């Protein structure tokens, strides 16, 4: 091999090494960031540093894929950022359309052609100018190269270089410039995808924030509405017996006019002498007394499973067997047991009222009957009342009116159901309107000793005497008898 051939190979090797070094350096710089502007600026600055390209620009394909837009320029007074070139129009547009590099030299001799590049005129139907391309550029440009920026043969943009000198472009540099242009295209595409992803994440974050705010507002509205509904339901619950209220809101009971015949035990109670009391007491005092009485009685009704039909002044109407029933016998026993507890509670209330200055005692009369009645929703389409009607209800009312003070008068039908659990005393027969035969009545005296409801404990209280007796707790029988004897001797 001759010396000249060796020198040629050495020069080519040095040049190849230099090209690789340039590619590595530029690639390293443009891949440091995902900012499109920074990548484009780095590319243009590198072109001047390594190839002495003092005037250059990069245009990117718009999302519409119909125009190229300037994103960065180098060496011009007017940056021209945002200027547009249509695909297929002028040198840049044709390079983009054909994806082929175009090189031009000695442009001073081609002023008319340059004018066509700097300004594109498209005649409309009436011959008017409809579009003008305004790009930064040299007025005395003599050389120009436009290189398509490709990524896997997909157009990303166009890299343009121009100079006021003739033929400044070394053809041997075209390959490395193409490589750098395509690497820049890849970096710009990655930056674009990254920016789109960031934008998407921002939009997602905004959407999530709006959704969270919406959910928060919705949760707050739901909570407020729920609180309103709970408050409303609590208010409505005061107008219904618990069993009826639960049946309505559970869907077991339709809110429409419907009735049925059922075996029930009906309870009536009113306060003897209450009418006279209303004439003597102030309305506020009377309201407090009646509220206390009805509240305590209602608690007992609920505890025994009764359904409160209504309050009529001081009177109470309760029935057992609907909407829930434990059986005719069990319902009747529960009703009478409730009445017995009511009398005990009323005795304690009378003591409290006496301490507050209510000298005249209030006594209760109670009547109970077991039989078939009609029960359900009665009324109009606009207003319903869940109640019970029939001769059985009238009979319970008559039993109550014939009862003695603080006594429970029951019908024979009820007596036959409860006689094994509760002791009763046979009373007189009564006549009831609508019933052709006399009704045998019984007076309740207490639980039978063999009943599971029986308690040997006794709690009684009258003015001047309070008695609590529970034989299961007495440890000294002799001492208990002595105390009772002492009490008896003082009463005599």
The residues facing 379 across adjacent strands are 384
DSSP assigned state of 404: P
**Spatial distance between the Cα atoms of 78 and 115, rounded to a whole number of angstroms:** 19
Whether residues 432 and 302 fall in one domain: yes
Rg (CA), the chain: 53
Q: Alpha-carbon distance 316 to 311, whole Å?
A: 5
Give the CATH number for residue 348: 3.30.70.1230
Beta bridge partners of residue 84, listed in sequence order: 69
362 and 474 share a domain?
A: no
Asked, for residue 414, whether it belongs to a domain, the answer is: yes
**Position 91 in a domain:** yes
Q: Are residues 166 and 314 in the same domain?
A: no
Q: Is 207 a member of any domain?
A: no
Predicted TM-score (pTM) of this structure: 0.52
Q: What is the DSSP string of 138-189?
A: -TT--EEEEEEEEETTEEEEEEEEEESSSS---GGGHHHHHHHHHHHHHHHH
What is the separation of C-alpha 31 from the centre of its chain, rounded to a whole number of angstroms? Answer: 48
Q: What are φ and ψ of residue 108, in 5° steps?
A: -60, -30
Looking from the CA of 218 toward its CB, the CA atoms found within 13 Å total 6
Within 10 Å of residue 390's Cβ, how many Cβ atoms?
16
Which residues partner with 258 through β-bridges? 377
One domain for residues 51 and 89 = yes
Residues 6+ apart with CB under 8 A from 88: 94, 96, 97
Judgement on whether residues 111 and 51 belong to the same structural domain of the protein: yes
Tell me: do 104 and 135 sit in the same domain: yes
Q: Please state, in angstroms and rounded to a whole number, the distance separating the CA atoms of residues 479 and 262.
A: 54
Residue 238 belongs to what H/E stretch? none
Q: Which residue from 270, 230, 238 is spatially nearest to 408, judged by alpha carbons?
A: 270
Given 149, 164, 196, the domain boundary residue is 196
Q: Are residues 352 and 388 in the same domain?
A: yes
Q: By the 8 A CB rule, do 87 and 67 touch?
A: yes
- Same domain membership, residue 408 and residue 462: no
Residue 430 within any structural domain of the chain: yes
Same domain, 486 and 450: no
Domain assignment of residue 231, yes or no: no
Does any domain span residue 412? yes
- Same-domain status, 463 and 395: no
Spell out the per-residue pLDDT of the chain, length 492, in tens.
676 766 666 655 665 666 677 777 777 777 778 888 888 888 888 888 877 888 889 999 888 888 998 988 988 888 888 888 999 888 888 998 999 988 877 666 554 554 555 555 444 444 433 344 478 888 777 888 888 988 888 898 898 888 888 766 677 777 778 888 888 888 888 888 888 888 888 988 898 888 888 888 888 888 888 888 777 776 666 666 666 666 655 555 555 556 789 999 999 999 987 877 787 888 888 888 889 999 999 999 999 999 998 888 889 999 999 888 899 999 999 999 999 999 999 988 888 888 777 766 788 999 999 999 998 878 777 777 778 998 889 999 999 999 999 999 999 999 999 999 999 999 999 988 878 889 999 999 988 877 666 555 555 656 667 676 666 677 777 787 888 888 788 776
Give the chain's domain count. Answer: 3
- Give the pLDDT confidence score for residue 303 in this predicted structure: 92
Range of the domain at 347: 251-454
**Is 391 in the same domain as 263?**
yes
Give me the helices (H) in 238-266, please. 242-250
Both 279 and 189 in a single domain? no
310 in any annotated domain: yes
End-to-end CA distance of the chain: 156
Q: Sign of the CA dihedral 169, 175, 176, 180?
A: positive
In a domain, 217, yes or no: no
- CATH code, domain with 184: 3.30.450.40
Q: Which two tokens stand for residue 137?
A: 């550029």
Residue 316's pLDDT is what? 94
Scan for tokens 């009342």, then name that residue: 385
Cβ neighbour number for residue 190 with a 10 Å cutoff: 16
């Amino acid at each position: 091999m001759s010396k000249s051939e060796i020198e040629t190979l050495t020069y080519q090797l040095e040049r190849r090494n230099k090209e690789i070094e340039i590619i590595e350096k530029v690639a390293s710089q443009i891949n440091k960031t995902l900012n499109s502007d920074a990548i484009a600026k780095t590319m243009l600055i590198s072109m001047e540093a390594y190839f002495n390209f003092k005037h250059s620009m990069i245009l990117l394909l718009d999302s519409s894929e119909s125009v190229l837009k300037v994103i960065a320029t180098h060496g011009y007074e007017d940056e021209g950022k945002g200027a547009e070139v249509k695909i297929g129009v002028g040198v840049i547009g044709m390079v983009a359309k054909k994806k082929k590099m175009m090189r031009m030299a000695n442009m001073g001799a081609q002023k008319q052609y340059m004018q066509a590049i700097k300004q594109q005129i498209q005649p409309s139907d009436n011959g008017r100018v409809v579009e003008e391309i305004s790009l930064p550029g040299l007025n005395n440009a003599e050389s120009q190269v436009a290189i398509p920026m490709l990524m896997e043969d997909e157009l990303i943009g166009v890299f343009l270089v121009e100079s006021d000198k003739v033929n400044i472009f070394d053809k041997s540099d075209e390959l490395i410039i193409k490589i750098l242009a395509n690497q820049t295209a890849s970096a710009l595409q990655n930056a674009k995808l990254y920016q789109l992803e960031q934008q998407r994440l921002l939009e997602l974050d905004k959407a999530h924030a709006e959704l969270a705010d919406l959910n928060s507002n919705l949760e707050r509205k739901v909570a407020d509405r729920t609180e309103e509904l709970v408050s409303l339901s609590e208010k409505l619950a005061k107008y219904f017996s618990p069993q009826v209220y639960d049946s309505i809101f559970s869907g077991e009971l339709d809110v429409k006019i419907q009735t049925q015949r059922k075996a029930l035990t009906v309870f009536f109670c009113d306060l003897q002498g209450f009418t006279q009391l209303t004439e003597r007491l102030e309305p506020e005092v009377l309201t407090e007394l009646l509220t206390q009485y009805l509240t305590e009685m209602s608690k007992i009704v609920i505890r025994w499973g009764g359904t409160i039909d209504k309050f009529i002044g001081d009177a109470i109407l309760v029935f057992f067997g609907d909407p829930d029933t434990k059986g005719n016998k069990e319902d009747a026993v529960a009703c009478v047991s409730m009445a017995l507890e009511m009398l005990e509670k009323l005795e304690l209330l009378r003591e409290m009222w006496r301490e507050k200055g209510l000298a005249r005692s209030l006594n209760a009369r109670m009547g109970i009957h077991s039989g078939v009645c009609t029960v359900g929703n009665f009324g109009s389409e606009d207003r319903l009342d869940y109640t019970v009607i029939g001769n059985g209800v009238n009979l319970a009312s008559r039993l109550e009116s014939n009862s003695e003070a603080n006594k429970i008068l029951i019908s024979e039908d009820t007596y036959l159901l409860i006689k094994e659990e509760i002791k009763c005393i046979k009373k007189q027969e009564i006549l009831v309107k609508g019933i052709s035969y006399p009704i045998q009545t019984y007076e309740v005296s207490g639980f039978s000793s063999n009943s599971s409801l029986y308690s040997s404990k006794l709690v009684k209280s009258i003015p001047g005497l309070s008695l609590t007796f529970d034989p299961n707790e007495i440890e000294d029988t002799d001492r208990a008898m002595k105390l009772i004897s002492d009490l008896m001797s003082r009463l005599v």
